[in-house]
């Protein structure tokens, strides 16, 4: 019976408290451009030591176009945060007060202490210390000092 299909996927343990049964997720499969939707049915209460993850099982209703046994790339929205900025993690540097970033102001590097929130593999949430419109410096950070002349370069 392919009117419902199971989708099993690992969830890193650090996100375990943010996922609930019934929560919606989306997924894609190779060879099909369609985005499918499912809902979390079971979250195994055991962390797998080798991967530091929990096994999650979801169900997709009426999955026309899917075949059993395929691989899926799953997207699961975790807690969303309304305030702050997401910046590249490589832009954050250690400081005497914790962590900071360099911004370009009037053609010169300016250091700002920042308060960090959530981190992912490639991004960091900045809660305080940056303003909308600030030009963040992300390269040659080891050479920067406050007041050093800098210029923006288009990637």
pLDDT digits (tens, 9 = 90+) for 20-30: 999 999 999 88
Q: Which residues of 35-55 are buried (b: 16+ CB within 10 A; e: fewer)?
A: ebebebeebeeeeeeeeebbb
Whole-number Å distance between alpha carbons of 10 and 53: 6
Which residue intervals of the chain bear CATH 2.40.30.170?
A: 4-75
Whether domain 4-75 has CATH 2.40.30.170: the reply is yes
Q: Provide the 10 A C-beta neighbour count for residue 72.
A: 20
Each residue's pLDDT tens digit, 95-136:
888 999 999 999 999 999 999 988 877 889 999 999 999 999
Which residue intervals of the chain bear CATH 2.40.420.20?
A: 85-143
pLDDT at 10: 94
Going from the C-alpha of 141 to that of each of 91, 138, 145, the distances in angstroms are: 8, 7, 8
Each residue's pLDDT tens digit, 80-106:
666 788 999 999 999 888 999 999 999
Two tokens, residue 140: 């040659």
Whether domain 85-143 has CATH 2.40.420.20: the reply is yes
pTM, two decimals, is 0.54
């Amino acid at each position: 019976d392919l009117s419902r299909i199971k989708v099993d996927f690992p969830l890193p343990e650090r996100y375990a408290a943010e996922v609930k049964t019934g929560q919606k997720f989306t997924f894609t499969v190779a060879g099909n451009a369609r985005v499918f939707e499912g809902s979390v049915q079971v979250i195994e209460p055991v962390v797998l030591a080798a991967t530091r993850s929990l096994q999650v099982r979801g169900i997709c209703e009426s999955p026309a176009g899917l075949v059993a046994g395929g691989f899926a790339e799953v997207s699961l929205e975790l807690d969303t945060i309304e305030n702050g900025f997401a910046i590249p993690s490589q832009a954050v540097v250690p400081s005497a007060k914790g962590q900071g970033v360099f911004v370009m102001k009037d053609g010169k590097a300016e250091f700002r202490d920042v308060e960090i929130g959530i981190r992912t593999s490639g991004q960091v949430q900045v809660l305080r210390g940056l303003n909308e419109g600030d030009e963040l410096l992300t390269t040659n950070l080891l050479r920067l000092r406050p007041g050093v002349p800098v210029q923006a370069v288009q990637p």
